Amino acid sequence: MELKGYPRGWFVIEISKELGANEVKPIKYFGRDMVLFRGESGEPYVLDAYCPHLGAHLGHGGKVVGETIRCPFHAWRFEGNDGKCVEVPYAKRIPQKACVRHHRVQEKNGLIFMWHCPRNSEPDWEIPTIEHYAKDGWTEWDAALLYIKTHPKEVVENLADKAHFGPVHGTWVDWFENEFNGHIGIQRARGVAYPRGGGEDRFELQSTYYGPGYMLTEMRSVLPNILLLAHTPIDENSLHLRFGAMIDLSNVRQGGEKFTAQYRENLLIGFREDIQLWENKVYRERPVLVDGDGDLGGLRRWYAQFYESASAA
């Protein structure tokens, strides 16, 4: 099944604390130039980048005024909520056509999400609130931002790839299952990890994709933690992946910071091993599979639902 274009869903476009008050950032996702800014109320907004007047990029030099952004070229102002022009400082009438496309944005769990749908349909699922986020004892995500030259389907296939844990991550998995249900895709696994620093950690995890680009892993290991893996296509051949961990340090008396740094680094090392594979592999439309592989067929059917091309077929 060929997956054309970009998937539909909620995608992380920024970490909340990376976008300050009144800050403006140019962004590019889904092959589209856009501007992300935080209004004076604290609300984040995303608009298409190019001004309808003479085409300036609002993300390069644009300024926040209230809940609007002012174009750096001739100072037209556009509403964050709907992209309509609300002021042209030197004209009496504002033309109807003076607007830029706006995109639906939501801020939750310390993350800024954008809804993307090629047909412009409304969101049909919610981003669940993480109960422990910003609660006493839990750390922030401290997410790393990685640029990866691959198609998101390669990243998603990890969810069903039972057999790569050993060879790639040096992790022993003794129990594994997948479940696919609506927009949700789950992996449950139990096993033993062998961290770089020596020793072994028994772990039990549940990884849940909420739609095609946002995954949380609840991990019961040395310390309870939640991993974030959020990937958003930049264009057809590359993506941004944000990878972080919220760790519960409420029972740690001392050395929490050192542990956290070490833990994150171990995760990132493991993760770079996946990345190296993705950046150099080909995609097999019809792979040769064996009984010990995970449910790759189920995963591919689940993932295809987020693409126009597949649902039209």
Strand 144-148 and strand 24-29: the pairing is unpaired
Strand 144-148 and strand 238-247: the pairing is antiparallel
Residue 88 C-beta: closest distance to ligand FES, Å: 8
What's 56's DSSP letter?
-
Q: What is the dihedral of CA 159, 148, 241, 15, to 10 degrees?
A: 180
Contact 77, 58 (CB under 8 A): no
Task: State the residues that interact with ligand FES by CB under 6 A.
Answer: 51, 53-56, 71, 73-74, 76
Among 68, 109, 150, 158, binds Fe ion (CB under 5 A): 158
> Which residue number, 71 or 267, has a Cβ lying nearer to ligand FES?
71
Q: Restricting to residues 255-274, name those near Fe ion by CB under 5 A.
A: 274
Question: Residue 238: what residue type?
Answer: S
Contact 299, 178 (CB under 8 A): yes
Residue 83 C-beta: closest distance to ligand FES, Å: 13
Out of ligand FES, Fe ion, none, what residue 274 binds, judged by CB under 5 to 8 A for its kind, is: Fe ion
Strand 238-247 and strand 63-65: the pairing is unpaired
One-character DSSP codes across 267-299: HHHHHHHHHHHHHH----SS----TTS--HHHH
Out of ligand FES, Fe ion, none, what residue 73 binds, judged by CB under 5 to 8 A for its kind, is: ligand FES
Residue 77 C-beta: closest distance to ligand FES, Å: 9
Out of Fe ion, ligand FES, none, what residue 104 binds, judged by CB under 5 to 8 A for its kind, is: none
User: Is residue 295 a contact point for Fe ion (CB under 5 A)?
Assistant: no
User: Is residue 207 a contact point for Fe ion (CB under 5 A)?
Assistant: no
Residue 70 C-beta: closest distance to ligand FES, Å: 8
Contact 73, 54 (CB under 8 A): yes
User: Is residue 171 a contact point for Fe ion (CB under 5 A)?
Assistant: no
> Which residue number, 74 or 132, has a Cβ lying nearer to ligand FES?
74
User: Other C-beta atoms within 10 Å of 9: how many?
Assistant: 23
Out of Fe ion, ligand FES, none, what residue 180 binds, judged by CB under 5 to 8 A for its kind, is: none
Out of ligand FES, Fe ion, none, what residue 71 binds, judged by CB under 5 to 8 A for its kind, is: ligand FES
> Which residue number, 98 or 159, has a Cβ lying nearer to ligand FES?
98
SS3 175: strand
Contact 165, 294 (CB under 8 A): no
Q: Residues interacting with Fe ion, by CB under 5 A?
A: 158, 274
